[in-house]
Amino acid sequence: MKYIDRLHAAIDRCQSSAMVGLDPRLDHLPEPFREQASGSTGDAAKALIGFHRALIDILAGKIAVIKPQSAFFEQLGARGFAAMADACSYAKEKGLLVLMDAKRGDIGSTSEAYADTFLGGGYQNAFPKCDALTVNPYLGLDACEPFLEYAQKHNAGLYFLVKTSNPGAVSFQNHGTPPLSEVIAAQVAEWSSGDMGEKGWSNIGAVVGATRANELGSFRELMPNTPLLLPGFGFQGGTADGLSCAFDHNNHGAVVNSSRGILWAHERPDLEHLTGWEDKTAFAVSEMIEQLSLACKK
């Protein structure tokens, strides 16, 4: 089964398009993991393994997909990469899809190595196969081709950066006539048409920030069959308002990501009445799901 069909089946089971990003910052882990992480690199990696397993237990059944951000794991070197692999494996055991947020993109042979690592399992299955991967397309078509080939070979998904959620994105992505982001969107739409799932959506997706709801309609017109990854919900200021155009009548077509809004829920003063980081995290997840349910239905 293609990635997009697996994703939509999982969304139907959970009845939500919410996604949670794993962006582990050691100084924001809940206790007792934060104290454990203050030791050696090995201690920090063990803390991440314990925290993410407990977090995934909370998320399983509520959301369809997690999005590990590789940079925060890579800070711990080989032990961090192993902790990321453990999170991916455990999430898949619990029925969650894994969308790896690595934003890779390089010349052909290097892109092939990245694609093999995250989508193909790497050398002798050294890393768990992820269901999808974020890709930086700005090195050109030849840099993207290996990712497209591996995605088709392994029934995996791709999300190409089109219009990112950060404020500085406009410096480059708005450049030119038409803007560079629209040039990329047109190319992604072309790729999307060549790798379609069962219900009219492609395996090939695009990243458009949830902070850019005012632009979302135009990008949906440019990429009518392209599934969208909408990051920036919550902590970065993105809300559910204006996101409905990303979805069809089945609430398919996009996933909306929150990272810090969920991971740092234990730090919210308004949740002090709840006991334990687990209850605060579960509350934040349910809150996000409800907000998306109310605002994204057509």
Q: Per-residue DSSP letters for 173-192?
A: HT-TTTTHHHHHHHHHHHHH
Sign (positive or negative) of CA dihedral 169, 296, 198, 14? positive
The rounded mean pLDDT for the chain is 94
Superfamily assignment of 3-296 in CATH? Aldolase class I (3.20.20.70)
Q: Verify whether residue 129 is a known catalytic residue.
A: no
Interatomic CA distance for residues 210 and 235, integer angstroms: 11
Mean pLDDT in residue range 262-276 = 96
Q: Per-residue DSSP letters for 192-211?
A: HHTSB-TTS-BSEEEEE-GG
Domains of the chain by residue range: 3-296
Cite the DSSP H helix spans in 60-169. Answer: 70-74, 77-93, 108-119, 141-153
- Crossing angle, helix 141-153 and helix 180-193, to 10 degrees? 30
User: What is the per-residue pLDDT across 208-266, written as a single tens digit (0 to 9) for each?
Assistant: 987 777 889 999 999 999 999 998 776 555 667 788 899 999 999 999 999 999 999 99
Q: What is the pLDDT of residue 133?
A: 98
Interatomic CA distance for residues 80 and 100, integer angstroms: 15
Confidence of residue 40 (pLDDT cuts 50, 70, 90): very high
Question: Residue 201 — φ and ψ, nearest 5°?
Answer: -115, 150
Mean pLDDT in residue range 272-289 = 96
User: What is the per-residue pLDDT across 122-139, written as a single tens digit (0 to 9) for each?
Assistant: 999 999 999 999 999 999
User: What is the per-residue pLDDT across 148-179, written as a single tens digit (0 to 9) for each?
Assistant: 999 999 999 999 999 988 889 889 999 999 99
Pick the catalytic residue from 62, 92, 94, 103: 103
Confidence of residue 296 (pLDDT cuts 50, 70, 90): low
Task: Count Cα atoms within 13 angstroms, Cβ side, for 41.
Answer: 11
